[in-house]
Amino acid sequence: MSLAERKRQLVRDELTDAALRLLAFQGFEETTIDQMAAAAGVSRRTFFRYFQSKEDVIIEHLSDLGRQLTTTLSTRPAAEPPAVALQHTLRTFTDTFWEHPEKSRRLAKIMVTTPPLLARYLERQVSWRATLSTELATRLGTDPTTDPRPAVLVAVAFAAFDTALMRWVTADPSPDLNTLLTTCFTAAFPN
């Protein structure tokens, strides 16, 4: 990576961190693009070099995590049952939430309660499901175009994940997200 590319990535990372912090603690509707740019020490114009909208800040952050899913699934032990491998794969999200739990919980709540953000999250999820289904089919030694099992298993795993996420952001006090995830996976994939 060249020096210019590293500098662009550093600016993008700082802008993302500042914007996510503001969105988490001020709220989605209450936070403006000008505030996000100022918090990162950049101009409004610079903001738009990296993001098309304030929704993109959250969605791109999730997309960065989403790209890790297939790699995570491919590195799980081959003998691991699909449900266990998928649960560990989806912990790619929950493990990053623990770096800043209150901020993550607030951002997750914004995402699931703001219709345009929820729609874009679900749109990204369709792509993640497709790539995970292909990877799971490889693990199972099957063809994903003729065997529906990988796609169904991945869909059920995301349903369990989304249920855990919704309970985490709406419960008061906030329960442990990984415990919720395990409970939801146990309900979705009983022995």
- State the residue range of the domain holding 102: 53-188
At 133 the pLDDT is 96
Whole-structure pTM value: 0.87
| 124-151 per-position pLDDT tens digit | 999 999 999 999 999 999 999 999 999 9
In the predicted structure, residue 191 carries a pLDDT above the cut 80: no
In the predicted structure, residue 65 carries a pLDDT above the cut 80: no
| 158-182 per-position pLDDT tens digit | 999 999 999 999 988 888 999 999 9
| 86-116 per-position pLDDT tens digit | 999 999 888 888 888 888 899 999 999 999 9
What are the start-end ranges of the E strands in 21-99? none
Task: Read off the CATH number of the domain in which 69 is found.
Answer: 1.10.357.10
My answer on whether 74 and 161 are in the same domain is yes
My answer on whether 67 and 115 are in the same domain is yes
Tokens of 64: 């960065």
Cβ 124 vs Cβ 63: under 8 Å:
yes
Tokens of 37: 């740019």
At 4 the pLDDT is 85
Find the distance separating the first CA and the last CA of the chain, reported in whole Å: 47
Give the whole-number percent of the chain exceeding pLDDT 70. Answer: 100
Average pLDDT over all residues of the chain: 92
Task: Read off the CATH number of the domain in which 29 is found.
Answer: 1.10.10.60
My answer on whether 47 and 60 are in the same domain is no
Structural domain count, the chain: 2
At 160 the pLDDT is 98
Reference 59, options 144, 109, 119, 141; nearest CA is 119
At 16 the pLDDT is 92
Distance (Å, whole) CA 62 – CA 80: 26
Dihedral of alpha carbons 74, 5, 41, 117, sign: negative
Summarize the confidence of residues 60-76 as an average pLDDT. 87
Cα radius of gyration (the chain): 18
